[in-house]
Amino acid sequence: MGIFSSGDDGKNTKRPAHWLDGWLVQLPVNAQGYQKGRAVTNHDPSVHYKPWYIIRGKQLWFQCPDNGATTGDSSNPRCELSQGKYWSNGKISFTVKVTDVAEDVVILQCRNPAKSHELIQLRPKRADGYCALWMNEGGDKIGGIDFPIGEDVKVFAEVRRNDKIVVKINDQTFTAPMKYSYTANGFNWKVGTYAGNGKSKTTVKDLKWS
């Protein structure tokens, strides 16, 4: 059976997930399917990659081990969706449930293609049931945001070109001026589970973006 399997035949199975056009999947394993070395990138999001990524209708499951293959610019494994195209103004919303997180996990990022500016990082923490929100490379950092582990949480985020950043977590809204000038390359969203310390699982549903 293949490492990336779906169904009893041990093969990847295509799903009618056209609503995810424009997104790619990053997995925490290398090209041979092992949790070490350089991670495989740019997978089709309409395919199951058990046990790391499963799609059923418009509900997505992400799982990340406490050790795994990593990308060239990170020492931590991840299983996440990443937009293949960049934009100048963007919105995203989804409902997320974080489970089985050892310490903390990144579930949402907004970055430019050079990875030199990270506008948003949303990082729930298991220990206290709260999360930290970093905006503008952590220059605007907010901690102690209510984020119950194991429960559905609604997330909304918006980036306005050369204007401001808006993040809403359930009924809590946070804003910050955008401190980095827009470039021709723009920004993109990343959603899933990026293990800061230890293993993690997240479920995402009702994902919408514009």
Residue 5 is assigned to a structural domain of this protein: no
Residue 8 is assigned to a structural domain of this protein: no
Query: The whole model's pTM is what?
Result: 0.87
Which position has the higher pLDDT, 124 or 199? 124
Number of domains within the chain: 1
Q: For the chain, what is the mean pLDDT?
A: 84
Residue 98 is assigned to a structural domain of this protein: yes
Residue 6 is assigned to a structural domain of this protein: no
Residue 195 is assigned to a structural domain of this protein: yes
CATH, residue 43 = 2.60.120.200
The per-residue pLDDT for 196 is: 66
What would the pLDDT profile of 144-195 be if each residue is shown by its tens digit? 899 988 999 999 999 988 889 999 999 999 999 988 766 667 889 999 998 7
Q: Rounded to an integer, what distance in angstroms lies between the CA atom of residue 44 and that of residue 55?
A: 11
- List the domain range (segments joined by +) for residue 39: 18-209
Q: With 90 as the cut, is the pLDDT of residue 112 above it? A: no
Which position has the higher pLDDT, 161 or 91? 91
Residue 7 is assigned to a structural domain of this protein: no
What would the pLDDT profile of 124-146 be if each residue is shown by its tens digit? 887 667 889 999 888 889 988 99
Q: pLDDT-derived band of residue 197, with 50, 70 and 90 as boundaries? A: low
